[in-house]
Amino acid sequence: MAASPEELADRIIVLAPIGRDAPAAAHHLAESKLACVICADLDDFNTKLSEGAAAALVTEEAFLRGSTRALEEWVATQPAWSDFPFIVLTSRATSPAAHAYRLRLLESLGNVSLLERPLNAVTLMSTVRAALRARRRQYEVQDHLLDRETSAAQLEDLVRERTAQLETANDQLRKQITERRQAEAALQQAQKMEVIGQMTGGVAHDFNNLLTAVLGNLELALRRGTDDGIRRYLEGATHAAQRGAKITSQLLAFSRTQRLQSEPIDLNSVVTRMGDLLFRTIGATVRIETILEKNLWQATADRSQIESVILNLAVNARDAMPNGGRLTISTANIPRDEQNKPVELAAGDYVAVCVSDTGTGMTDEVLRKAFEPFFTTKPVGSGTGLGLSQVYGIAKQTGGGVSIATKIGEGTKVTVYLPRTRARPVLQTSEAPGAPLRRHDATILVVDDDPDVRGLAISSLETLGYRVFGADGGRAAIDFMGRNASIDLVLIDIAMPEINGVEAVQAILKERPGLPFLYMTGYVGPTKLDPSERVVKKPFTLAELAAKVEEVLFPGGASRLFNNVITMKPGARTN
């Protein structure tokens, strides 16, 4: 039965190709109920290491029986949370070559514990169990990082979802603001036109009464008069009064106070029947074309007034093209959900007739005043300025509206919207916008004259989240402490030249009584120290160093240790 990934990750792999070291080690491990597997050579060792293991027990001569490049590459590419422990059994050889070889092992493999043979079973098992404890703590860190990555991914998903909701809400808000501004502008324009219309309607009504009397009396006079000279005067007055009546009719149309005979009409047939009239009125310099909707809806309007509207718009278009051009009359269905129709239109379906030209176009100032009565850009005597105002009034009184699209040098398009005969209510839809380490701040001074050991301790403590400084020897440590008052703990080697670690600590404590300190050493030597409290023995694991530092800095708080070992880079467990 194949071993599970968890079983592979907790086993110890043994590489001791010479003698009985491998069987003896396996026997001791089995007695301690620790799973192990014996490797035949370095290639087999690398394979089983890649499959999964908690620690490795290797004799130093095993590394001489093949290339260690693959092993070194595996160590170098471990995830950030992993610091795989190697226990290397060495000989008593103390030659320079052997010393250099062991230093290279320490450098290339990283987390290495050297045990000199012969050794007793207690020492071996104690070292193995320490390595297993360190590895299991690394697994805890890995699990914590994976949980944090999962939480971070969930948070990112939540942030993306919330961001999308906010973007949607912002888009809706911007749209609503734009629509509100358009509605406010349309309302202001409508209110202005309403005031002008009321005033114009009152004047036109009174003026129309006066013209009625004038025309009536002129007609009576013509009937009774027999003098040809006098009749010519009367006929001239009658023509003038009729022109005034036409103007009054236009004013009444603008003020929406004239009487309309609304009925269902087919705008396509209206445009078609006006073909000859338009051609005679517009002239040959302007090309007229029609684009008619094939399945056009019926509109509600006064047929004669709509004919007047189309004729007025065609004349204006002709006047905007003094050198000739193209006049286009088109019809279209405007459904209730059309986004480009004027905002002042009531909800419903509309039928549109559009008159566009390729003329001079209008400026913004002209466009703002286009529907006002008596406003015109034509020369004096060429127009009354009531054409567009009449179009506006007829469309409004019918229940529709008018819009103008224009651009200087490119032309103008006037669209008249008329209500469909059987308009349906608009179905309104609305969318409701949708609706969110502790780290050690202690500063540690690492003191060691060996740059490799000093660098290892600094890196280990930085991994644990501490802020770390280094000093090359006791004298440098004393000088550093004299310049820096922010150190919370001194981690110091004992055996150093000139001033050893104990002397340096004594000198520092004179200036900083009560400052926590921790010795690190491979042996205590002749100094009278109690190694059980303030000494971390070399070589030490990250867990051992972390536990000792935590114990000295935070007495009674060692259980908090791995709540703080969370500053490593995220990585996946690859055993």
Residue 386 has pLDDT above 90, yes or no: no
- Asked if residue 454 is part of any domain, the answer here is yes
- Asked if residue 305 is part of any domain, the answer here is yes
Structure token pair of residue 180: 């509100």
CA 61 to chain centre: 58
Across residues 371-375, what is the average pLDDT?
71
Q: Which residue has the higher pLDDT, 533 or 57?
A: 57
Residue 416 has pLDDT above 50, yes or no: yes
Give me the DSSP letters along 69-122.
Answer: HHHHHHHHT--TT----EEEEE-S---HHHHHHHHHHHHHHSSEEEEESS--HH
pLDDT tens digits for 324-360? 899 999 999 999 888 888 877 888 899 999 999 998 8
- Asked if residue 169 is part of any domain, the answer here is no
d(CA 507, CA 512): 9
Across residues 175-203, what is the average pLDDT?
66
Residue 214 has pLDDT above 60, yes or no: yes
Q: Is the peptide bond before 539 cis (omega within 30 degrees of 0)?
A: yes
d(CA 7, CA 36): 10
- Please report the pLDDT score of residue 95 as a whole number: 79
CATH number, residue 193: 1.10.287
- Shared-domain flag, residues 270 and 356: yes
Q: Which of 372, 550, 344, 521 is nearest to 444 (CA)?
A: 550
- Asked if residue 97 is part of any domain, the answer here is yes
Task: Give the C-alpha distances (Å, rounded to integers) separating 241 from 199, 212, 258, 385.
Answer: 22, 9, 19, 18
- Please report the pLDDT score of residue 238 as a whole number: 79
The neighbouring-strand residues paired with 356 are 328, 413
- Please report the pLDDT score of residue 202 as a whole number: 58
- Asked if residue 570 is part of any domain, the answer here is no
255 contacts 204 by C-beta, under 8 angstroms? yes
330 contacts 354 by C-beta, under 8 angstroms? yes
- Please report the pLDDT score of residue 522 as a whole number: 61
- Please report the pLDDT score of residue 190 as a whole number: 61
Residue 311 has pLDDT above 70, yes or no: yes
| Count of domains forming the chain | 4
Across residues 460-488, what is the average pLDDT?
88
- Shared-domain flag, residues 87 and 205: no
- Please report the pLDDT score of residue 204 as a whole number: 59
Residue 430 has pLDDT above 60, yes or no: no
- Shared-domain flag, residues 410 and 282: yes
Residue 256 has pLDDT above 80, yes or no: no
Lowest mean pLDDT across 36-40, 163-167, 448-452, 542-546:
542-546
| End residue of a domain, out of 196, 229, 254 | 254
Across residues 392-412, what is the average pLDDT?
87
404 contacts 370 by C-beta, under 8 angstroms? yes
d(CA 291, CA 298): 16
- Shared-domain flag, residues 243 and 268: no
Across residues 516-529, what is the average pLDDT?
69
| End residue of a domain, out of 119, 136, 153 | 119
Across residues 102-110, what is the average pLDDT?
83
- Shared-domain flag, residues 237 and 186: yes
Q: What are phi and psi of 314, to 5 degrees?
A: -65, -40
pLDDT tens digits for 29-51? 888 889 999 999 999 999 999 99
3-class secondary-structure state, position 325: strand
Q: Which residue has the higher pLDDT, 159 or 378?
A: 159
Q: Which of 156, 101, 139 is nearest to 5 (CA)?
A: 139
Residue 117 has pLDDT above 80, yes or no: yes
Q: Which residue has the higher pLDDT, 534 or 574?
A: 534
Percent of the chain with pLDDT over 90: 19
CATH number, residue 384: 3.30.565.10
482 contacts 511 by C-beta, under 8 angstroms? yes
- Shared-domain flag, residues 235 and 335: no
- Asked if residue 211 is part of any domain, the answer here is yes
- Please report the pLDDT score of residue 381 as a whole number: 53
- Shared-domain flag, residues 489 and 368: no
Structure token pair of residue 490: 């001194």
Q: Which of 399, 423, 211 is nearest to 306 (CA)?
A: 399
- Shared-domain flag, residues 210 and 229: yes
- Shared-domain flag, residues 325 and 198: no
Q: Is the peptide bond before 513 cis (omega within 30 degrees of 0)?
A: no
The beta strand positions in 168-247, using DSSP E, are none
CATH number, residue 464: 3.40.50.2300
- Asked if residue 141 is part of any domain, the answer here is no
**Reduced DSSP (H G I as helix, E B as strand, rest coil) percent helix, strand, coil of the chain, to 5:** 50, 15, 35
454: Cβ contacts below 8 Å, ≥ 6 apart: 446, 447, 448, 470, 472
- Would you give the end-to-end CA distance of the chain in angstroms? 19
- Shared-domain flag, residues 221 and 281: no
d(CA 285, CA 321): 9
| End residue of a domain, out of 234, 254, 274 | 254
- Asked if residue 164 is part of any domain, the answer here is no
Structure confidence at residue 508 as a pLDDT band (50, 70, 90): very high
- Shared-domain flag, residues 293 and 321: yes
| pTM for the predicted model, two decimal places | 0.37
Residue 179 has pLDDT above 70, yes or no: yes
Lowest mean pLDDT across 112-121, 220-229, 351-360:
220-229
Residue 205 has pLDDT above 60, yes or no: no
Residue 62 has pLDDT above 80, yes or no: yes
The neighbouring-strand residues paired with 350 are 334, 419
- Shared-domain flag, residues 270 and 396: yes
Residue 279 has pLDDT above 60, yes or no: yes
Structure confidence at residue 246 as a pLDDT band (50, 70, 90): low
- Please report the pLDDT score of residue 568 as a whole number: 37
Structure confidence at residue 390 as a pLDDT band (50, 70, 90): confident
Q: Which residue has the higher pLDDT, 445 or 235?
A: 445
Residue 249 has pLDDT above 90, yes or no: no
d(CA 246, CA 303): 18
Structure confidence at residue 231 as a pLDDT band (50, 70, 90): confident
Lowest mean pLDDT across 291-300, 410-419, 556-565:
556-565
Structure confidence at residue 484 as a pLDDT band (50, 70, 90): confident
The beta strand positions in 109-268, using DSSP E, are 112-116, 263-265
Q: What are phi and psi of 85, to 5 degrees?
A: -85, 130
The whole domain housing 353 covers 260-419
Lowest mean pLDDT across 3-17, 244-258, 446-460:
244-258
